Amino acid sequence: MSILVVGSVAFDSVETPFGKADDVLGGSATYFSTSASYFTDVSLVAVVGEDFPDEHVAVLEERGVDLEGLTRVPGETFRWKGRYDFDLNQAHTLETHLNVFSDFNPVLPESYRDAEFLFLANIDPELQLKVLEQVKNPKFIACDTMNFWIESKPEVLGELFKKVDLVVINEGEAREFAGEASLVKAAAKIMDGGPRILIVKRGEYGALMFNGPSIFSAPAYPLEDIFDPTGAGDTFAGGLMGYIANTGDITEEGLRQAIIFGSTMASFNVEAFSLDRLKSLTRQEINARFGEFKRLTHFESL
Ligand code: AMP
């Protein structure tokens, strides 16, 4: 099976306590599709400007991502500039330039409209809705977002959350959207009339899944060095949704495995700037780290 994703394809400029990178390849859809491509076929919907180099497109091509839905128009590509201090869980946005995304009106290629699995990666929620409306009969829909959209378009996001099966969101953003300090209360509020599953990303502390009455807690992989956390969330979502699209399994057990694949992919991504580590993994490396997660979390019952 395959997955369709809409989100940003971007130039990122990132500063961490360990170094900096200027105008490197980034974007929510870029990280997501590269990560998901290790598990399933991926089709991408996004827009770039005339300044977007072929070598960046080649990164996605080499991962076999279907780029029929990647439009190139006159103007400049989306740009994001961010900084991380020693608390690498917290990205500080310095600049966001939507550029060609400001008036992007996605029209899905005919072959994309039958997608069964859909991921609405972080981008304007109005665009997320426009893509969702064009998919005929999706089996499983998930979305992500960030504070930029929570603060600028909360009503549109509320509308979107009602139409998806799964919301994947950062801890701080879940609290901000719900206006609740308690994560359990925030989850209940987001899920009320909205998605039946919620996954809260907690950076180096892992992820929590709320699935009806069940709660699952997954750790993050304990890495000695984290170089650049940019894209960790999208890479997590790519592993998670790529695995779900591959197996078609949305039982509690299947979702738990998918979260661990998501955490596995995110742990590789933060080991280098941009997609430098993510773009050249092998399935053996991925499966080996998945196995380490099992040892990390396993304990005997009484
Ligand atoms: P994360 O996985 O949360 O670290 O996402 C990082 C990626 O999100 C970067 O590569 C950025 O290009 C992209 N990004 C940042 N701000 C936005 C935004 N407002 N809309 C869409 N994508 C964004």
Yes or no: say if 275 and 265 are a contact pair by the CB < 8 Å rule: no
pLDDT per residue as tens, the chain (302 positions) = 899 999 999 999 999 998 999 999 999 999 999 999 999 999 999 999 999 999 999 999 999 999 999 999 999 999 999 999 999 988 999 999 999 999 999 999 999 999 999 999 999 999 999 999 999 999 999 999 999 999 999 999 999 999 999 999 999 999 999 999 999 999 999 999 999 999 999 999 999 999 999 999 999 999 998 989 999 999 999 999 999 999 999 999 999 999 999 999 999 999 999 999 999 999 999 999 999 999 999 999 99
Residue nearest to atom 9 of ligand 1 (CA): 27
Ligand 1 atom having least distance to the Cα of 26: 10
Contacts of 72 (CB under 8 A, 6+ apart): 47, 48, 49, 50, 52
> In angstroms, what is the span from residue 165 Cα to ligand 1's centroid?
22
> Which residue from 52, 47, 32, 146 is spatially nearest to 102, judged by alpha carbons?
47
> In angstroms, what is the span from residue 82 Cα to ligand 1's centroid?
9
Alpha helices in 37-143 (DSSP H): 54-62, 125-134
Ligand 1 atom having least distance to the Cα of 170: 3
pLDDT (0 to 100) of residue 1: 83
Report whether residue 77 contacts ligand 1, using a CB cutoff of 6 Å.
Answer: no
Residue 201, strand partner residues: 170, 207
Tokens 């395959």 belong to residue = 2
pLDDT (0 to 100) of residue 44: 98
Q: Which amino acid is present at 72? A: R
Report whether residue 26 contacts ligand 1, using a CB cutoff of 6 Å.
Answer: yes
Phi and psi angles of residue 218, each rounded to the nearest 5 degrees, phi first: -115, 135
Report whether residue 148 contacts ligand 1, using a CB cutoff of 6 Å.
Answer: yes
Residue 81, strand partner residues: 13, 95
> Which residue from 224, 222, 239, 221 is spatially nearest to 278, judged by alpha carbons?
239
The residue extents of the domains of the chain are 3-297
- Alpha-carbon distance 259 to 52, whole Å? 32
Report whether residue 233 contacts ligand 1, using a CB cutoff of 6 Å.
Answer: yes
Residue nearest to atom 21 of ligand 1 (CA): 123
Helix (H) or strand (E) holding 208: strand 207-211
- Alpha-carbon distance 239 to 274, whole Å? 17
Topology of the domain comprising 3-297: UDP-N-acetylmuramoyl-L-alanine:D-glutamate ligase (3.40.1190)
Number of Cβ within a 10 Å radius of residue 179 = 9
Report whether residue 12 contacts ligand 1, using a CB cutoff of 6 Å.
Answer: yes
Tokens 């509308």 belong to residue = 159
